[in-house]
Chain A
Amino acid sequence: MKTLINIGIAIIVSASMVSCFNDKKPNYQYFPNMYEPVGYETYGEYDIFPGQQEAMMPVENTVPRGFVPYEYDDSTEGLELAKAELQSPYEVTEENLATGAHLYTIYCAVCHGDKGDGKGILVTREKFLGIPSYADAGRNIVLGGIYHVETYGLNAMGSYASQTNEKERWQIAMHVMDLKASLKGEPGILETTKAEANTASETEPK
């Protein structure tokens, strides 16, 4: 009988202690000495900042170290210019292509499809339509053009400059070129660049 009473008391005590914890708000803390930050947290909300946002915009026309501004306009002329003259500053390598493929599945495949045929998950589920295939005969898809579109967006597509950095966009562009080639049944970008390099070295006078 006595042990029963003791067990009963233990249950009541533990139940009442657990009942204080509410799932819908953060739990109680015991002396939260260094729990709240003294410094400003990156996305914190503080009265001192405009709009209470710690994440403020940098001053325009400033260039941080290790960053090169993109100099083509966000316009049809800019796109055409990029298509015509913009070249990748990175070499086409297997490593870059692999990273590009990886990034492509994260950022692009949801609309453009894993194969680049315009049949991503959102299209097959008919959330929206009108995604063209890379192999579309009417489209002139080149490396510089892909990079330009990734940076600024085009028509329904938005800019991916905030998700990816410059190098990542070039890597994705390389992968897109690969996808286009495989849709058309042509050799991949790695082989073509190698072949170009070979012919260039052969024709070069010794």
Chain B
Amino acid sequence: MSSHYEAPIREPLVLGEKSYADISADVAAPVLGKANKSWWIVFTIALIAFLWGLGCIIYTVSTGIGVWGLNKTIGWAWDITNFVWWVGIGHAGTLISAVLLLFRQKWRMAVNRSAEAMTIFAVVQAGLFPIIHMGRPWLAYWVLPIPNQFGSLWVNFNSPLLWDVFAISTYLSISLVFWWTGLLPDFAMIRDKTESPFQKKIYGILSFGWSGRAKDWQRFEEVSLVLAGLATPLVLSVHTIVSFDFATSVVPGWHSTIYPPYFVAGAIFSGFAMVQTLLIIMRKVSHLESYITVLHIEYMNKVILLTGGIVTVAYGIEYFIGWYSGVPYENYTYLSFGAATGPYWWAFWALITCNFIVPLTLWVKKLRRNIMWTFLVALIINIGMWFERFDIIVVNMSKDRLTSSWTLFQPTFVDIGTFMGTIGFFFVLFLLYARTFPVIAQAEVKTILKTSGAGFKKLRADHGDNVSHVQHVEEYPAEAGPAANVEGKHFDSPFVNPTDEDLENSNVDFGQHQQKIDTLIATVGTFDPALQKQDNLKKINGVGPLMEQKLHQLGIFTFEQVSRMTDREYDLLDDIISEFPGRAKRDDWAGQALLLKNKK
């Protein structure tokens, strides 16, 4: 790192003056710690939704598809809407981990792990619908070309529904392999970090004996690149194939050559919206604000803007062609009494509002970097993209060529319950993932720490690109050897033993600081020796025996108390104990204490 050119215009991707150890500690914290109450609450809600959905699925399969709101005209509605919606959501994960890898986007590193997890969990949800919307799901294995007793009766390879089978199953397996490969170094990190024998055993198995040798890393990188190269066309083709379900039909409104790219753009659009939704919560809950920064959110918003723009152009083209083709049926679908003015006008305008109008606000930099607003927009896009699929499927089918078969669709509670169930299942999986998997690819983030970490960026800004930040140690005179150092030439400052500090005479001056101490204790809380146990504060990096003694004098005995400190308390502390100004803030005592507290 003696010389490195990094454009100063780039904002740091890792905030706080993180070290490699800090990254490992931050990523491992949720895995090594215990789940808190809010996690259990959310998990319970998700689990109930999942079980309810499971009940709906069992009811559907055992009673029949007739329990859904489908009719003879509209044979696909919520089932395939949800299927396409979930598949679309899944696409962002692979896009982030594969396409952005090919484009060498460093910002992907903090988000790719969770985005990939989201892909896998979303594809699992999507994969349910092709099965449960079957009339006879127990014969689903007939979609596979297996030699059999019916004179080796095979499937017809002309149906896009069969291509879906191959597309989705391939997509899931490739994503899973790609994800797992990336997880190996991180699982190994957890394996090496944990103190619980059970976790050590589990993560030992999961990490496949990863030892991080140079040869392993070299092959790891190559595999990642090859898989990224394979996953990229896969992402494009999977949603293309999904779009073929509609585009290859003769239904006016479906029969359209623009569908493949338009669906893919929509998939990335909705997928990124879902990533935003999840990561904005996750960075807060798992204390990953230093890694998933506003910059990441802004970048993802830019992708949303781009793909949202593509989708909007596609809407325009659909309308233009509807008019330009001169086909009266297309006109019905799009203009006359179709989408915009027909009985489903509300779904259509919900789509236009959610997918076109609301995302336009992201052109404003202030809003693009506003986390709350981003969260709101992401939610709205998710709703809008659901409506897009609903509109495409239901509106186009409700008014087909024969007026005698025009009808409307009304969902039943089973339709809705199944959808809610998949959302619940998704969150069950995602919440379990967030507590058991390293949610940030720490191995990858460590590779950008020195180029894009805030601390290192500051060093470069202060000292220039070519300054080495490694302390220069004078070489031993070669001919004299190490023995030449006997006169203390190379260690001219006296070696200080920190334990030599005078513990006896380091009392806090209570008289002078009583008011400040009171304010401090008021915020962090008092310690009651009758009810609580004091913690070993020396575990906090930066707290020595002397500092611990002083903290004890102030009345601070537990991690809990330290974890409540904010900038104001740090300043008070600096005023009271003037020996190490700024130390507590630099070392992030509160953050460390929080981790230690959770680990207890």
Interface residues of A (CB under 8 A from B): 31, 33
Contacts and interface: CB of A to CB of B under 8 A. Distances in A.
B461 interface: no
Nearest to B139: A31
Main secondary structure of the interface of A (DSSP, over half): loop
Contacts of B139: 31
Interface of B: 136, 138-139
A33 B138 CA distance: 11
A31 B62 CA distance: 13
Contacts of A31: 136, 138-139
A31 B61 CA distance: 13
Contacts, number: 4
Main secondary structure of the interface of B (DSSP, over half): helix
Contacts of A33: 136
Nearest to B136: A33
Contacts of B138: 31
- Nearest 4 interchain pairs by C-beta: A31-B138, A33-B136, A31-B139, A31-B136
4 contacts: A31-B136, A31-B138, A31-B139, A33-B136
B252 to A, nearest CB: 35
Nearest to A33: B136
A176 to B, nearest CB: 46
Contacts of B136: 31, 33
A33 B136 CA distance: 9
B287 to A, nearest CB: 47
A31 B142 CA distance: 13
Nearest to A31: B138
A119 to B, nearest CB: 48
Nearest to A30: B138
B61 to A, nearest CB: 12
A31 B136 CA distance: 10
A31 B138 CA distance: 8
A205 B180 CA distance: 108
A91 to B, nearest CB: 46
A33 B64 CA distance: 13
B111 to A, nearest CB: 43
A31 B139 CA distance: 9
A31 B135 CA distance: 13
Nearest to B138: A31
A15 to B, nearest CB: 20
B501 to A, nearest CB: 63
A17 to B, nearest CB: 15
